Amino acid sequence: MAMTGIEKRFVNRAGKGKNNIEKIKQRLEAIGENNIHEVLELGCGTGSVSAYLANSCSMHVYGTDFDPEQVKIARRVNPENSHLHFGVEDASNLTCKDNQFDLVVSQNVFHHVPDWRKAVREISRVLKSGGYLFWLDLSFPNLLIRITKPFVKNYGLYTFDDVQAEFNKHHFESIYYKRLSQVPFSHHHLVLEKL
């Protein structure tokens, strides 16, 4: 789902990009980056994380966003090169090959994907066995989901237990977890390995 103008102003801030890069650096240090060559970023926004992974870590990175305007900005701010490419993709219906990537990065994307379960299936399909998923996102209280689900069609609504169960169903094992905040919604950071 394309973001509203207000959401774009919030996520396209330079400080937000730097914060996301710091989280990526920490996770890469924890798992080691020697075996990470091919990377898919879902919801790349202005492309700061994709550009960091390509230009500072020499990884081949495909930064994607559902919103063509975001991809246009990413290409302007971070010119494509032999290690960095951007494209418009639907996280729940990717055009990528099976078992293509060593790492998938999804930071604050799932709550923008109405069929987030299909996104989990797609991530599992394109990620190599032994590959990693860096997942950072919100989860919602059950009560809020029950109240808003009949009216909310353009956003992903899920509890953290829902997300964990779906990852487990697709053979992901959690190797790192941190709850970043609890109010008003829980914010979680997971590193998962595909078995």
Per-residue pLDDT tens digits for 89-128: 999 999 999 999 999 999 999 999 999 999 999 999 999 9
Cis preceding-peptide flag for 141 (omega within 30 of 0): no
Question: 155 by DSSP, 3-state: which?
Answer: coil
Question: End-to-end CA distance of the chain, in Å?
Answer: 29
Contacts of 62 (CB under 8 A, 6+ apart): 39, 40, 41, 50, 85, 86, 87, 96, 101
Task: List, in sequence order, the alpha helices (H) in the chain.
Answer: 5-11, 14-31, 48-57, 68-77, 116-126, 142-148, 160-169
**For residue 187, with 0-12 CB atoms within 10 Å meaning exposed, 13-18 middle and 19 or more buried, which class applies?**
middle
For residue 97, what pLDDT is reported?
98
% the chain with pLDDT above 70: 92
Report yes or no on whether pTM surpasses 0.85: yes
* Beta bridge mates, 192: 133, 174
Tell whether the model's pLDDT for residue 69 goes beyond 60: yes
For residue 113, what pLDDT is reported?
94
Q: Choose among 115, 117, 158: nearest CA to 137.
A: 158
Q: Hey, what CATH topology would domain 5-194 get?
A: Rossmann fold (3.40.50)
Q: Of 15-19, 22-26, 29-33, which gets the smallest average pLDDT?
A: 15-19
